Structure 1
């Protein structure tokens, strides 16, 4: 891994906006599905996924879901159920209710919280299938009370045998009852605009390749989306107390996601820096996804030497990493200084995969520095809020002049007159 100082370090990873050709392909696909519905959806599934479907075979059947249960190992089923229970328990604590505030003069103000009606969850195929992401998308929506949750996943995530059985089982365990074998930009468009077979949703969540990301951007406004997710990131802030093998293993746990992932160690310790660099090379040699992890480490990995942990914290806040591990002698003492991070892992036993799979907090986190202003996926992402205003006569008589003054200052006489009419009527009584 390259070693640099804090002043020399620059991640310099560009945000992926797609090529002109990719953007044009997505525009064409989305517009075709919007206007032609199932015909375009089936046509692009045949063209891009090389799978011939009909409207009758778009939806995954109950028999297929049961067959998926027969194909997964008992230990996987036990693990996915335990993880789901932890994720549900954590997100239950995020629930908030509607509220109303009744004033002595009879005015009532408040906020009404309601779940979204229908949410679409996209589950990618490609380099790997991620059943854990199914849980992280679906369970917060369920906790929020979303009555309809639909999953879309490419028709050959499991190769020639169809959809990956682990994805189907994870979705079923999370409570999804409506699943479709569609992927890519055409799936996003079908969820957003609906077809004769698939009803439209209110929000689309879940990661995907560049075509999925561009399609989500294209349909935003017609529906809500979670985010445009970037490559995975981890930063480890560590001192001499850290175990080099642990640090190296956690860096590689993110580097193996894809070639664009970034893995960064920030430390004031020269000895730790050297030891971790050696450990990364040693562990890379036996990593099954070594080519991917090595490309990530060489392009976007770094060991950054800082003068102190305080300087390290400042660098962390500038990076705003998706995942932050603090492996220092007293990690909780630094917690109050961390302003920007998607998820924070404290101490040697809080390895990043603990959060990815099992602990309970959501692993869908802000990337590309967006932890400066955004948060992990949570129950609020599947809720909508309405303000409630019931003004009393007493309050309107008291505040009406102020309201009219502000309206007329903005040149909106109609606004002012709407109040003035009421004041004149009430004062004339």
Structure 2
């Protein structure tokens, strides 16, 4: 893990979304699903996932869902239920209400808030299965009041036995209403446009590989999507009070996600920085996913030495990291100066995995520096808003001439006349 000064550090991020060849493959798959429906869905599933299915085998049955509980440990069920309770409690606090503002002239202005009707959740099945991501996608939608929550996941996430039972149990506990054994770009296209078996959704959420990301970009507009997520990121802002072994472990907790993940320590203490760099190398050898983590650390990891904590804060705000840990003597004195971060973890015991799995805030967080303008997934991702306008006669007579003035300045005489005809009639 390289140790560099803030002046010498050059941020390296992967911002390209797929090669031209990958984009063409995705466009072809989406086109096939859109025009052929189930037939193309089944064909691409057999070609890409090496699983032969018929249309009536696409949907996971209630019996399969119940049977999944017999394939997981009771301790897992207890943990997933506790995590689900925490996540639900946190997101309930984000609920919004419709409102109306009654004016003295009899007019009413307001906003009507409704949940989306049908949401699709993608659950990957590549390098690892993520039951926690099921909770983080599904529970906010459920709390928002979405009546239909559809999950898709590749048919071989659990090997020859089919879908990973941990994913199925998480889906059952979170409140998924439909589950289909289909993955990749073909699953995204099915959710967007529908097939004979899968009805289209209003929004698609959830992480996936490059083909899933490209497919989400391809179908955006026909449906809404959550984001085009990049590799996982963690930055730690620390001083001499921090424990080097804790910091190293937290950096590796993100590095083990993906070879493209980034793990960065920002500190004014060279002593701490060098100790963390050494500790990362020591702990790497003990990590089961050491090859992935090592590739991440070598390419995207760094210890940045700053002149002061103030300069460290400036570096963090430029990085706009997905996850930020503040491990200093007085983290609460610093948090107000952090402008750009997806999730902020304060103190030595708020390790990033606490947020990944259990605390309650959502772990689907903006990456690739988009925390400058984006936010973690919350209830707003699963609602829509309608403006409400009831204008009284008194209000229109009062404001009509100004409305006509603005319309005519934009060249829209029809707009002006729609107001004028009422003014002429009511005066």
With normalisation by structure 1, the TM-score equals 0.99
- Give the conservation status (yes or no) of the 8 Å contact 1:144–1:379: yes
Counterpart CA distance in 2 for 1:292 and 1:156 is: 22
Residue in structure 2 matched with residue 21 of structure 1 by the alignment = 21
Q: How does 1:132-211 map to 2 (within 5 A)?
A: 132-211=132-211
Counterpart CA distance in 2 for 1:77 and 1:326 is: 32
Q: How does 1:157-306 map to 2 (within 5 A)?
A: 157-306=157-306
Counterpart CA distance in 2 for 1:12 and 1:151 is: 34
Q: Deviations over 1:1-24 (max 9, x none)?
A: 101111111222121310111000
Residue in structure 1 matched with residue 91 of structure 2 by the alignment = 91
8-17 or 74-83, larger mean C-alpha shift: 8-17
Q: Deviations over 1:379-410 (max 9, x none)?
A: 01000000000001111111111101110110
- Can you give the 5+ residue segments of structure 1 that lack an aligned partner in the other structure? none
Secondary structure of 1:407 counterpart: helix
Counterpart CA distance in 1 for 2:199 and 2:416 is: 43
- Give the conservation status (yes or no) of the 8 Å contact 1:120–1:191: yes
Counterpart CA distance in 1 for 2:296 and 2:218 is: 29
Secondary structure of 2:350 counterpart: coil
Q: How does 1:27-66 map to 2 (within 5 A)?
A: 27-66=27-66
Residue in structure 2 matched with residue 69 of structure 1 by the alignment = 69
Residue in structure 1 matched with residue 401 of structure 2 by the alignment = 401
Secondary structure of 1:411 counterpart: coil
Counterpart CA distance in 2 for 1:161 and 1:177 is: 22
Residue in structure 2 matched with residue 390 of structure 1 by the alignment = 390
- Can you give the 5+ residue segments of structure 2 that lack an aligned partner in the other structure? none
Residue 124 (structure 1) shift? 0.2
- Give the conservation status (yes or no) of the 8 Å contact 1:16–1:230: no
- Give the conservation status (yes or no) of the 8 Å contact 2:136–2:362: yes
Residue in structure 1 matched with residue 366 of structure 2 by the alignment = 366
Counterpart CA distance in 1 for 2:166 and 2:273 is: 39
- Give the conservation status (yes or no) of the 8 Å contact 2:91–2:140: yes
- Give the conservation status (yes or no) of the 8 Å contact 2:135–2:171: yes
- Give the conservation status (yes or no) of the 8 Å contact 1:155–1:181: yes
Residue in structure 1 matched with residue 326 of structure 2 by the alignment = 326
Residue 81 (structure 1) shift? 0.1
Backbone CA RMSD of aligned residues: 0.5
Counterpart CA distance in 1 for 2:10 and 2:377 is: 28
83-92 or 16-25, larger mean C-alpha shift: 16-25
Secondary structure of 2:388 counterpart: strand
Residue 177 (structure 1) shift? 2.7
Counterpart CA distance in 2 for 1:362 and 1:108 is: 36
- Give the conservation status (yes or no) of the 8 Å contact 2:152–2:180: yes
Secondary structure of 1:56 counterpart: helix
Counterpart CA distance in 2 for 1:352 and 1:372 is: 20
Secondary structure of 1:337 counterpart: coil
Residue in structure 2 matched with residue 309 of structure 1 by the alignment = 309
- Give the conservation status (yes or no) of the 8 Å contact 2:34–2:190: yes
Moved over 2 A (4+): none
Counterpart CA distance in 2 for 1:8 and 1:158 is: 45
Counterpart CA distance in 2 for 1:235 and 1:20 is: 32
Secondary structure of 1:167 counterpart: helix
Q: How many residues align?
A: 427
Residue 67 (structure 1) shift? 1.5
